[in-house]
Amino acid sequence: MNAEEILEGAKTIAVVGLSRDPAKAAHGVPAVLQAHGFRIIPVHPSATELLGEKVYRSLKDIPEPVDLVDVFRPAAEAPGIARDAVEIGAKALWLQQGIVSPEARRIAEEGGLEYVENRCTAVVRATAAISKN
């Protein structure tokens, strides 16, 4: 599956590293996805609510199925996030633009997840005109 197909097939997106700062891509990108009808579930170590949604401390704390795990964290953290994504039964792992991790790719693919790295979900959404609204 290519990036466009993965995003088209996703409805619920857990965003690891969703930022409180509206000026950062880690806030603006998920906000754009939410505005286009995607269900965003924030994962953040200390916030309680972001983008009007309850925040979870880790992927493993999310009590509902997740289609796509969208990662806004350094590449060094990606393998652990990949393990958690496999454990919760996510369908895909997506590392945002600028994030590359061969180990996360291996973990995700061995766990049966679709995988994208070094691409921006908002750019893919815009260029493919994907909307859930």
CATH of the domain at 65: 3.40.50.720
Q: What is the pLDDT of residue 133?
A: 86
* For residues 12-21, average pLDDT: 97
Q: What pLDDT digit, counting tens, does each position of 98-116 carry?
A: 999 999 999 999 999 999 9
Total domains in the chain come to 1
Q: What pLDDT digit, counting tens, does each position of 75-91 carry?
A: 999 999 999 999 999 99
Q: What pLDDT digit, counting tens, does each position of 23-69 carry?
A: 999 999 999 999 999 999 999 999 999 999 999 999 999 999 999 99
Q: Is 133 part of any domain? A: no
Q: Is 18 part of any domain? A: yes
- CA dist., res. 82 & res. 79, Å (int): 5
Run of H or E residues at 68 = strand 68-71
Q: Is 90 part of any domain? A: yes
pTM score, whole prediction: 0.97
Dihedral Cα 47, 76, 68, 64, nearest 10 deg: -50
**Hey, how many other C-beta atoms are within 10 angstroms of the C-beta on 73?**
16
Q: Is 115 part of any domain? A: yes
> What residue numbers bound the domain in which 63 lies?
3-128
Q: What is the pLDDT of residue 122?
A: 96
* N-terminal to C-terminal alpha carbon distance within the chain: 23
φ/ψ of 43, rounded to 5, equals: -120, 115
Pick 132 or 105 by higher pLDDT: 105
